Structures are given as structure tokens and as C-alpha cells.
Structure 1
């Protein structure tokens, strides 16, 4: 895939322009977006991402188009998981709904910057160190295990760095609109908004470590990696308010993502065997018998896994709601 520096610059400039527009038109004035507003913009950004993928397929071939779509769907799923953690953080810090847009926007921008850095590092490593695929594959398998069996109930609002910041910085108990710092009696204080942003920044680092090796397992094209990540993050703010109540019902999302990360981890290890140069593996020769997983299968597998996890989650929570209601009614009657 031949991407000129001019195309890179235009793509980055348009991406920045979208986020600047988002901030000044939607986020600068604190308010809670309506369902209608969130739905319109969510549809717009998802449609834009799909049209971009079609454009890649028509101009560069459908193999690259398939890589883009597989990467976009994976990154979107990981971003929704990211939203769930954002929800936990903002609940932990009791961020007023009118100010949640600003927190989300800052978190998304931090995520985009971090992923941009990781993309550049990943592209350099892949170009110069073939055995990095073994590292990426092993990392994803570990992350898949942690995603499936780790503790997802921890509260990032009470993490060590946040608690350390509470001890060394003068922090107010209350929010002062959406400001990060205020002056009280001539002394500068920070608001809980700063702690919220610190917590979200730490979470963004973790998710960048998850997402970049995952998408490099689907494509080696840095341009596709960047655009898939950028489009996955665009509209994420609106999606938060659109599916806010639904997030808590996606009880099997973590397990679905674990399956996807594990699948991509295996795919990376198989690819590493194909390009093997390590002297202690097959004498430094390529392991040609190891199967390469085609991109069409990856796309189908990822889409099917997300669909199964979503349907199973909604059925699980739907079936449990009536039982909870009956139990509540029984207790009240007693």
C-alpha cells in the first residue's frame, strides 16, 4: 500500500480538524447531549468510517479494505470497553453529567495521541525486527487471559497514582464547573476534574498497549492502523451518551474481547513462524507449514465474536431483570 507523505499529512490534519470542531462546537459549552443528538453524530461518524473503508478497498484493493474493516471493528470494540472504564472513573469521581463531555473529550484525545506514538514505534519495530511478532503475539495472549479472568471491578478512581496526587496536591472537595484549578482566598487549588483526567490518562496507556499490538496482528500497514484507530475514537463521546445504559448490560464484552485478543495473538505467532529469523526456531528458517490466517476469516471471526458476546449479554441481563424485580417485590411484601 503506497501512502505518500502528503496523504499522511492531509489525513492527520483532517483528524485534528474533526476533534477541534468537536471541542468548540459541542464540548466547550457544558451540557448533557440528548439521545437524538448523540444518535445523529454516532450514525455520522460510523457511516464516515465505513465509507472510508470502502474507499480504501476501491483504491488500494479489497485485501487492504478487509484489513481496515477488521481493524476498525476490533478497535471499536476495544474502545467501547474503554468507555465502560471511563464510566467507572466518572462514577467514582462523581463527575456531573454536564461536565462529562469535557472529560470524555480529553480522554479520547489522550488516547489518540498515545496510540499515535505506539503506532509509530510499532511500525519501526515491524520494519526492522521480524521477531517482534512473537513478542506482540505473546503479549496479546497474556492480555487475553487477563481480560477473561482478571478483576474488572477495581476502581481506577482509587488507584495508587491518583491517591498519591491527592496527598501532594491541594484538591477541593467540590467541582467548580468544568475547571481544572481555581483560586480560593488567593491560594491555587485543583479540582477533582484533574484527578479524573489523570485516572483516564492512565487507563488510556493500558488500552493503547492492548489495541496497537492487536491491530498490527491484522495489518502491517501503519496508515490502516492509524485511520482505523482514529475512526474508532471519532464519535466515541456521542456513543457514550447514546449507549450509556447499555454499557452495564454488556456483561460478556470482556470475554468476547478476550477471545478476539487471543485469536489475534495466535495469528501473530503463526505469522512470526512464517517470517522466522530466530536461530533457535527451525534453524533460523521460515516455518512454512504454519498456516496463515486470511483476513476474510479474521473479519468474520471478529464480527461473529462481538455479535455472540453482545447477544449473550443482552439475553443474560434481560433474563435476570424479572427475577430481580420479583425478589425486590417479595422483600417489600415481607
Structure 2
């Protein structure tokens, strides 16, 4: 009969060991980190990241984070590099090589050509004793800490610390480049993130022939036709120069009927329109429009220019249908 295993206890111990590895890493951040950032910032080519095994998996993530935050980067498998893929690396690039021991045979085999290309080499390893950091322009170190694996064999704490160091480099470079949310959006056009950052009101609003508009003297029977025909649940009321005077919605219609027990179909809309309706700029992000609609508990915004001229209407339905959240 097997003894009971306290999984929660093991989990907490693992987290504690890996937290300690990050604490050790903190003391390794010195002028070498500054120098590594400067080398990357001056790079005229790409940042090529390489590593074998688990270090390679971390390297792939590191390269992806660099690439998405303004530092052109890709991952090069060191084993494949020895069989032709080293052609990916050219003068003007920077190479980041990861090996906890600092002794990766696959990476050391590439060293003569790396030197020949005069590519700056930044290594990430436990210490600076191995042949890789000894051949590096900048040798970043993780410090000496135990792996969370009880056998001390599976890369755990070391890969966590490497991942954190890679993120620290990416964030430092991001800030140095003045990388903005709009820059981030351009490298993330797909999915919810891209929609949150890239979509603006002007991309989704109803304009021109789809835009419901009537004059303030329009009788209610024609107002109702405009609301029904344009299918946006409202109409804008504008003057002769398209300046916004008010709106009238299907909700206003229901409230009018309840209040007056019917109404005169020849009544001019100016007498019942809602003045000073909520408006938004066409340059506002779609996610901002959705947030403000929820805050105001309304279903539509009238889109106006800086002269208060009506140029569109955007609704909650438009935003949800576009996948904005």
C-alpha cells in the first residue's frame, strides 16, 4: 500500500525553491546587464537566441517576447545550426546563448564561426566558469541555486530564473525604445488583444447612408420611419449644417407612449428629442467606447467631429459583434 502524498506541500516547496532562485538572480543584476542592453540597442540586425533542451524552450519564449516588444528576434536551434541553419546568423546580429552549465557542446561547436562573423555574444549561465561565458562579450549569470527537482536533475529553478532574466531584458529594452501600446498592437493584430488596441470607433461606426438623421421640424411619423429604416434604434436630430441638436431613440418612443397614452404623429421631433446626448470621437479606441457605454448604461454613441457635426453612430451591438471585450 502506497503512502499518501501531500501534493500541496510539494507544490509549496517547489515554489519556495524557485522563488529563492529568483532572489539569487537579483544579486546578479549589475553593470553586465546594462552592457548587454546597450549591445542589443546598438544591434543593426536581429537578436538571435539559441539554447539546447529546456534552455532552448526558454530561448524560444525569450525571442518571441523580444520580437513582440520592439526588438527583432528569432530562435536558432544549435543542433540544426551545425547542419546549415547557422546561415541565419549574419554580421550585425547579436547572439544570446543559453546554457545553465555554460558547457553546451552544440553551442561550443559554433564558436569559431561566431568569432569569425564578429557577432557579439551574450551568454546566460549559472556562473562564468564554463567555456561559453569565457568566450562571451557579456556573460550574464543566474547565481548558484538548487533545482526544485528533488533529484537535482530536471531544469526547474534554473529555467525559471533564465525566463525572468529574459523578461527583464525585454522590458528594459522596451522602455529604452519608448515602445508604446500602439507599437505593441501592430505586432498583435489578431485576437482579442489586437482588437482592444487596434480597433477604433471610426472602424466600426455607421456612416453616410447608414446614418439616421432628421431635422428638428421633422414630424414624428417620419422620425419613426427613419429609426425603423436605418435599424440602429435611434435617429440623430441635426441642423442644416449637420451639427448635433439631439437624439430620439426607440426607448424614448416607448416612454412617450406610456406618458401620453399615444401622441400626435405630426408632432415635430424638437419637442420630444433628448438634447445633449452622449457623444464620442471617431479616434477613440473601440474598447474605450465599450467601457463608456457600460458606465453610462446606454446602447449607442453619436460620433461627432471637433465642430460637433454628426459623422456616425456606434452601438453596443457593433462592438460586441466585432469581438471587442
When the two structures are superposed, what TM-score results if normalisation uses the length of structure 1? Answer: 0.21
Richer in helix (by share): 1
User: Greater Rg, structure 1 or structure 2?
Assistant: 2
Question: Relative CO higher for 1 or 2, CA cutoff 8 Å, sep ≥ 6?
Answer: 1
More strand, by proportion: 2
